[in-house]
């Protein structure tokens, strides 16, 4: 054993050995930062989860939120345990490191694919539940998975040789070495994410132009588009950075997948919570003047009504939204209640194409897919 280590040390220069040790120590510490980050965010947003997610009936959207939320935390815990257990002397072997390298990539890809399913549904929604868009995105999604698996299999056999060359060195864990076309591992997912981002970017520009022409206020539809643009771009940047860490010419050290897994989980859960909170407790009004007071119902009440009062009653043109729990109204059915100050009618609109959205996607009432399918021009009311 000692002779094997000595011969391996002779084949590796002192500088190369120092780089290998440094490459193993960085993930050893960074993965803890990733776990701390996601746990901190979890407790920061737990109240919002309890308030806006837990009361919902079980549905596809609720399942995806719970899955991404807790799978991401479990994934970070797995990263930390695996890296620190393997850092113990005598644990790692060539076959074990090669197998674990593949497993880490697959479990990380499952997290990313889950997020991309959510992003596909959001693109499907903002394009009016277009089946052509859905089919195109599904084909591209399948292509990105196929590309990922092909690169994974191609690199697997080559990883064994690269790891075997330095596995006998006294390193804390599996050696952090890159081989084959490992740099291309996340390229298919990055390309697909870029396509989704372009879909969202086009619709955002289109919506911004319409809003500018109408000079109307913000809406939940514009909130959806804004979130799509921000979060799609953020995830695409994460994938690009992940690729740059593997490319040796950038000299960016390998941080492990911990920060990547944490960022993906946090970004997606905050995206979903942000929209859920907006649909449950925000009154969005179209107005030409200031609103001096606003009142909300509780998120769990039967009806969430926003009211406002201002001495310039006749000039504001305020059209707040009423959020109603229960059965959706038809296009011809509206409900109006008037506050004590004249000029403020609170109207619940039933002009969302609920049937089409719910037929194509198994989502609960109150989901983004429901109301984003065909945004109305003057206001929007929906069940929550």
Q: Report pLDDT for 205.
A: 78
Question: For position 132, what pLDDT does the model report?
Answer: 94
- DSSP assignment of 128-182: TS-HHHHHHHHHHHHHHHHHHHHHHHHHHHHHHHHHHTTTTS--SSS-----TTG
CB neighbour class for 309 (10 Å; exposed up to 12, middle 13-18, buried from 19): middle
Strand blocks (E) in 76-146? none
CA dihedral 121, 122, 128, 131 (to 10 degrees): -30
CA–CA dist 381, 384 (Å, integer): 10
End-to-end CA separation in angstroms for the chain? 66
For position 234, what pLDDT does the model report?
83
Q: Could you give the domains of the chain?
A: 2-281 (1.20.1070), 293-372 (no CATH)
Identify the pLDDT of residue 339.
Answer: 37
d(CA 161, CA 279): 54
Would you write out the chain's pLDDT as a tens digit for each of its 384 residues?
Answer: 444 444 444 456 777 778 888 888 888 899 999 999 999 999 999 999 999 899 889 989 899 999 999 999 999 999 999 999 988 888 888 888 888 888 999 999 999 999 999 989 988 988 888 999 999 999 999 999 999 999 998 888 778 777 877 877 888 888 877 777 777 888 999 899 889 888 888 887 777 676 666 665 555 566 666 667 777 788 888 888 877 877 766 677 888 888 999 999 999 999 889 878 877 654 333 334 444 433 333 333 333 323 333 333 333 232 333 333 333 333 434 333 333 333 333 333 333 343 333 333 333 334 444 434 334 333 333 333
Q: Residue 380's closest CA among 344, 347, 357, 340? A: 347
* 8 Å CB contact between 381 and 363: no
Task: Locate 79 and state its tokens.
Answer: 């990263």
Residue 222 pLDDT:
64
Alpha carbon distance 370, 373 (integer Å): 6
């Amino acid at each position: 054993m000692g002779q094997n280590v000595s011969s391996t040390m002779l084949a590796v220069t002192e500088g190369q050995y120092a780089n290998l040790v440094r490459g193993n120590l960085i993930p050893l510490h960074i993965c803890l930062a990733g776990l701390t980050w996601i746990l901190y965010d979890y407790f920061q947003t737990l109240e919002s989860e309890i308030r806006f997610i837990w009361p919902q009936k079980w549905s596809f959207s609720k399942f995806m939120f719970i899955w991404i939320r807790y799978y991401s935390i479990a994934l970070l815990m797995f990263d930390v345990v695996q890296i620190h257990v393997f850092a113990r002397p005598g644990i790692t072997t060539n076959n074990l490191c090669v197998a674990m390298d593949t497993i880490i990539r697959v479990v990380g890809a499952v997290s990313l694919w889950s997020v991309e399913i959510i992003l596909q549904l959001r693109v499907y929604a903002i394009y009016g539940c277009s089946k052509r868009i859905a089919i195109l995105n599904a084909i591209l999604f399948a292509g990105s998975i196929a590309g990922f698996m092909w690169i994974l299999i191609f690199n697997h056999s080559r990883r064994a040789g690269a790891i075997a060359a330095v596995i006998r060195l006294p390193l804390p864990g599996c050696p952090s070495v890159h081989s084959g076309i490992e740099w291309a591992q996340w390229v298919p997912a990055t390309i697909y994410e870029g396509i989704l981002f372009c879909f969202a970017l086009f619709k955002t520009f289109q919506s911004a132009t319409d809003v500018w022409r109408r000079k109307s206020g913000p809406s939940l539809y514009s909130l959806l588009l804004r979130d799509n643009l921000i979060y799609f771009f953020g995830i695409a940047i994460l994938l690009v950075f992940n690729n740059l860490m593997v490319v040796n010419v950038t000299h960016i050290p390998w941080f492990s997948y911990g920060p990547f897994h944490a960022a993906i989980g946090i970004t997606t859960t905050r995206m979903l919570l942000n929209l859920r909170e907006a649909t449950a407790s925000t009154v969005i009004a179209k107005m030409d003047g200031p609103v001096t007071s606003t009142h909300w119902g509780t998120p769990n009440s039967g009806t969430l009504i926003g009211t406002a009062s201002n001495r310039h009653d006749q000039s504001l043109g305020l059209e707040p939204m009423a959020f109603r729990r229960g059965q959706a109204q038809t296009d011809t059915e509206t409900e109006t209640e008037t506050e004590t100050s004249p000029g403020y009618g609170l109207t619940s609109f039933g002009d969302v194409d609920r049937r089409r959205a719910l037929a194509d996607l198994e989502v609960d009432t109150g989901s983004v897919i429901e109301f984003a399918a065909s945004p109305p021009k003057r206001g929007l009311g929906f069940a929550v």
